[in-house]
Structure 1
Amino acid sequence: MNSPLNIAPSNPMNIAPSDKVVKTGVRDVDAVAEGLADVLSESYAVLLKTHSYHWNVEGPLFHAVHVLTEEHYTDLFAAIDVIAERIRALGRVAPMKPSDVVNMSNEHSTLEHPSALWMLEDLAKDNERLAHKLHALVELADARKDHATADLATARIAVHEKAVWMLRALAAS
């Protein structure tokens, strides 16, 4: 049977991603990969909202918010790639369906036309929530002897905690 691209399944160019066994001493790879996928999904939602606010901010804080949100979404985009590659390094397939890649739950709903101050506080809350998820991932990874994931998550915690501070400091100005 041919695929939609008329490539025979036996063709070596028709290899699809699949889970692999990687023996590095990490215990319960599935749990760690699920934790990483959750952080990836949350990060993508924050990236999309941050980018949307970057496009739509208006008012006296326009330039400062525009510049800060660009820094944040650029960092998030790079981080998401690192997180997905960590999932692959653990031998698991990174999320592929849009519904798995982006968590667009009610936690991420926003006003139709928020003010710059509202945007700043909203993004601060999103970054706090992401930092909490990352703290949980550090604990999960440490318990399963996955030091690389714990280090990755620890570095991301510092980024998101700094983002919370910067967003709230700008909102207070």
Structure 2
Amino acid sequence: MKIDIGISDEDRKSIAEGLNKVLADTFALYIKTHSFHWNVTGPMFNTLHTMFMTQYTELWTALDEIAERIRALGYPAPGSFSQFAELASIKEEVGVPKANDMIRQLVEGHEAAARTIRSVFPAAEQGSDEPTADLLTQRLQIHDKTAWMLRSMLE
């Protein structure tokens, strides 16, 4: 069935392609944060273990919101590890870094996610896609704040 929500087919495609990257970065950051939650050790164990759980839970919820927006635009959401690996700007961690390195990697991950989100705004604005712009703004606020909070732990 044809989609007629006031956004051209070309604009919907461009927005969905950008959101695919946002979804992939969110998934990569979710996996990394959850792994760090499981594997953190050291004097900050309890603080980081709890903080990482809060963060990965928020990221998990965001995955559904982003994927559902892609679907509302009429495109399939990526859903495989290989698709996410190809689309994500955040690289996986296969080892178990020290706690401060975990924090540093998560700062870098949230900053990368913020850059990806910022790169999608022009497509959303071009298509007058306010719901996507709103979603991107909400996600950006969370990534910027989380990066700041994590960065503060390293000072």
- Indicate how the Cα distance of structure 1 residues 118 and 104 shifts in structure 2: closer, same or farther if over 3 A, else same: farther
C-alpha RMSD of matched pairs (Å): 1.8
* Letter paired with 2:4: K
Query: For structure 1, which runs of at least 5 residues remain unmatched after alignment?
Result: 1-19
1:58 to 41, 44, 60: 41
1:73 to 41, 56, 73: 56
The Cα shift of 1:170 comes to 2.0
Q: Aligned partners of 1:66 and 1:80: how far apart in 2?
A: 21
Corresponding residue for residue 126 of structure 1: 109
**Higher mean displacement: 123-132 or 107-116:** 107-116
The Cα shift of 1:95 comes to 1.4
CA distances 1:73-95 after superposition (whole Å, capped 9, x unpaired): 00000000000000111111111
Runs of 4+ with >3 A deviation? 101-107
The Cα shift of 1:106 comes to 8.2
Corresponding residue for residue 38 of structure 1: 21
The total of aligned residue pairs comes to 153
- Indicate how the Cα distance of structure 1 residues 107 and 88 shifts in structure 2: closer, same or farther if over 3 A, else same: closer
CA contact (8 A) 1:42 1:103 kept: no
TM-score (norm 1): 0.82
Larger fraction in helix:
2
* Letter paired with 2:110: N
CA distances 1:92-151 after superposition (whole Å, capped 9, x unpaired): 111133312455868414362311001001100000000011111122211121111011
Corresponding residue for residue 133 of structure 2: 150
Matched, 1:21 2:2: yes
CA contact (8 A) 1:26 1:145 kept: yes
Matched, 1:49 2:32: yes
TM-score (norm 2): 0.91
Q: Aligned partners of 2:38 and 2:98: how far apart in 1?
A: 13
Matched, 1:116 2:99: yes
Report the 3-state secondary structure (helix = DSSP H, G, I; strand = E; otherwise coil) of the residue aligned with 2:74. Answer: coil
Corresponding residue for residue 7 of structure 1: none
